[in-house]
Structure 1
Amino acid sequence: MRPTTTTDRRRELGACLRSYRERVAPAAVGLPDRGRRRTPGLRREEVAALAGVGLTWYTWLEQGRVTASDEVLAAVGGVLGIDAPGVAHLVRLSRDGAAPAATAPEELLPVLASWPGDPAALLDAQLGVVAVNDAWEAAIGRPADGDPGRRHVLWQLSADPAARARIGPDPDELLTALHRRFRMASDLDPAAPGTRGVRDVLHAEAPERAPLWECRGVGAFGRPRVRLGGVERTAYLLGEAGAPGAAVLVLLPS
């Protein structure tokens, strides 16, 4: 696996901007909708004009050919409706250099043990499952062993038959929030081992959620909810969204 380069990260930045641009309706930014468009969302020239930058320069930004200042990325993010954590992610993607070293997940094991009665999982930088507490195993099940593509919180909550039998009928709110976190982490280090493997497994074994797996949306984790065993719980992710390092996911009664 080759290391992540500046070009890789700028390419991810451009793909993220294109994804958001295609999701913004012209009316949402005060533009008239003049009939059918060849592509959904805003045109490049519309984003450039609203953000106060040149069309050629913005085109190069989406193509991964230039570096932008924090102020320009904030202006573009404002036009595209990207929240503050999402704009911070754009800034990280625009910077030169390799992805920062990740925090060792084992450092957070004492935090995991501090919730003996509520489901909690210790996750690595890519949301791979490092460890879970007894309450997680009782409520959701034991994480898969071996294949990194399956020892992953997104796989367990969306494709593991045992977990799907215990989770309420609509876990999409939690899955969407977790996928945003996964997208932000994997964009920063697209060459990381396992990233592609996780995506391949999710597409193959939870194909009904393909639109989510293909979404490039990023942003704040928020406070998503999920129903376990008839109890509605709110998810808390203790760790900066999109930043490298470990995090603890805990599901507390709402």
Structure 2
Amino acid sequence: MTHLLLIGIGTGNPEHLTLQAIRALNRADLVLIPRKGADKADLADLRRAICAEVITNPATRLVEFDLPTRDPATPGYIARVNDWHDAIATVWAETIAREGGQIVALLVWGDPSLYDSTLRIAARLEPAPRITVIPGITSMQALTAAHAIPLNALAAPFLVTTGRQLRDHGWPAGVDTLVVMLDGECSFQSLPPEGVTIWWGAYVGMAEEIIRHGPLGTTGPDIITTRAAARAAHGWIMDIYILRR
């Protein structure tokens, strides 16, 4: 039986790895490195750099594979994602079978439990592998650390959501603090800005880190411009923000 190690790597900073993650990487026969195309080559480079810094076991091999892309012709968001996950699971299985690894590691941005589909993809593998999850620093932790703020207001709840949910359904009732992830369209633009503060960060915890903070009405336009320039410069962007009213 294949033993699959899903290792949270924070936001790509080797200093964010836990001792548990480092030990797990050094137990692995294979570390799978996804390639996402030339415009996102930095992501594979970051994974390789992490491995080069912390892996001391000469028997651990890095194996790269081309990550399938979502088919835009498939109708419906959920159907597109499910087909995409099926394709990724197939590539994983083929790569593991070809390379012959018994203990196989995958490096997951942030934590495999939070807005990440690695566990859902792993569940598609046949025969079912043994799965061990090594938690990492989430982007929420990295963002609040970068701004030196607590996540919630005193004795108050917060809600974690996505840009798509915010855009389609507005501010959820019953909470005054939102953590917004997976937002490629700066969906905060759809909200009335009065009385709302935003804390935003991109590449949080990395050398390229950019953070902004202030009233949504004045800071939002600056974030939109800054985000577009950063994405054009790097070919990709990972960002997250907190809204509080």
Q: What is the TM-score with the length of structure 1 in the denominator?
A: 0.21
User: In proportion to residue count, which structure has more strand?
Assistant: 2
Q: What is the TM-score with the length of structure 2 in the denominator?
A: 0.22
